[in-house]
Structure 1
Amino acid sequence: MRYLTTRYHTETPAEFIDANQKTMLTRIAARAIVIRDNQILMLYTQRYHDYSLPGGGVDAGEEIEQGLIRELQEETGAQEIRNIKEFGLYEEYRPWQREGYTSVNMLSYCFTCEIDNQLGETQLEAHEINNGMVPVWIDIDEAIAHNLDTIANSSKKGLSIERETFLLKLIKQELL
């Protein structure tokens, strides 16, 4: 899969990696790009006031494409996922205070795919429900503008918004 970029959520990347090497988790994620005309299937998260691509962590022993299909079905209710094609790998290093880790090296494998017109029931996890996550079809230009506004003006923004906005801009440039 082609490499897209690496993002460091710190001012001193080398020092951050050296200082956190022993407590850094490498996390594999799969993210779906589903487009119809100028509309893109996104997840709106009320807590962070942002739009993100459907997807998430790949389970141990799970192939990346299997993780993509599972996450897309769970988060959006997508049905008949097909024509899965590689888009690119987005890598990031960031703080991660969970399960004894202090940082994470997140590898987001992004794929384009098609789905049936009708979305089924979601199977969101408790934290996704608590964060107010809902699947939506939105004009890609609106999603980009919204995320840029959130980056500039909202104290609610999370770290993933930079990844999502980078990907949205690249998707618009290359696929639309």
Structure 2
Amino acid sequence: MRLLKTAIHPSISNATSTQFTRLTGRAIVLRDNTILLMFTKRYEDYSLPGGGIDEGETIEQGLIRELQEETGAQNIKVLGEFGLYEEFRPWYKDDFDVINIKSYCYFCSIDAQLGQSQLEHYEQQNGMVAKWVDIHEAIAHNERTLANSDKQGLSIIRETYLLKEIVKKL
């Protein structure tokens, strides 16, 4: 898969950091003039649906599972690769200093009707909800959050970049 970008958090130095890698799958689902995104109330941002790949899963299997869990999507088909966004961030637990997140992004199709989501507890606590959104409105919203909110998470930079790259391909 083609590398879209490698992002390194400014606090990370290559010197003596210990790191681990987390593989994730992220879905790009387009319908008419909208894209299926997750809105997170806690961070006031939009992101592509998806998440971590479990042991024994392929990236595509994990992507399908995550897309179904987060959005209730049914009849999911992976249509093709979009690209890889790799990032290095500080890790908040004692076992490692750095997390290397590899986000594999794929175009997907789903049935028109979304079913019931199966969000994890922390996703529910953060106020995550699936929404069909105009991609330009989502980008503008994330940019306002980046400029004005102190609640933002580290993922908003990745997600805003990916949304802008998707627009370039449309």
Say yes or no: TM over 0.5: yes
CA separation in 2, counterparts of 1:65 and 1:161?
A: 23
For the pair 1:95 / 2:90, whether they are aligned, the reply is yes
State the distance in 2 between where 1:102 and 1:47 align.
25
Tell me the TM-score normalized by structure 1.
0.93
Matched, 1:115 2:116: no
Structure 1 spans left out of the alignment, 5+ residues: none
Aligned to 1:169: 164
Partner Cα distance (2:100, 2:54) in 1: 16
Out of 80, 91, 108, which is 1:85 matched to? Answer: 80
* 1:7-46 matched pairs, under 5 angstroms: 7-10=7-10, 16-20=13-17, 22=18, 24-46=19-41
When residues 93 and 83 of structure 1 are mapped into structure 2, their CA distance, relative to the original with a 3 A threshold, is closer
CA contact (8 A) 2:78 2:106 kept: no
Amino acid at match of 1:30: G
Q: Tell me the distance in 2 between the aligned counterparts of 1:88 and 1:75.
A: 21
**1:138 aligns to 2:133 (yes or no):** yes
Aligned partner of residue 150 in structure 2, secondary structure: coil
Q: CA deviation at 1:102?
A: 2.3
Letter paired with 2:97 = T
Structure 1: how far apart are the matches of 2:52 and 2:20? 12
Distance 1:4 1:126, change over 3 A: same
- Relative distance call for 1:165 and 1:154 in structure 2 (3 A) is same
Classify the secondary structure of the residue corresponding to 1:107.
strand
Deviation at 1:99, TM superposition (A): 6.4
Partner in structure 1 of residue 70 of structure 2 = 75
Distance 1:90 1:83 in 2: 18
Cα displacement string for residues 78-120 of structure 1 (whole angstroms, at most 9, x for unaligned residues):
0001143111000000012136222200000000010000000
Residue 2 (structure 1) aligned with residue 2 (structure 2)? yes
Q: Answer 1 or 2: which has greater helix percent.
A: 1
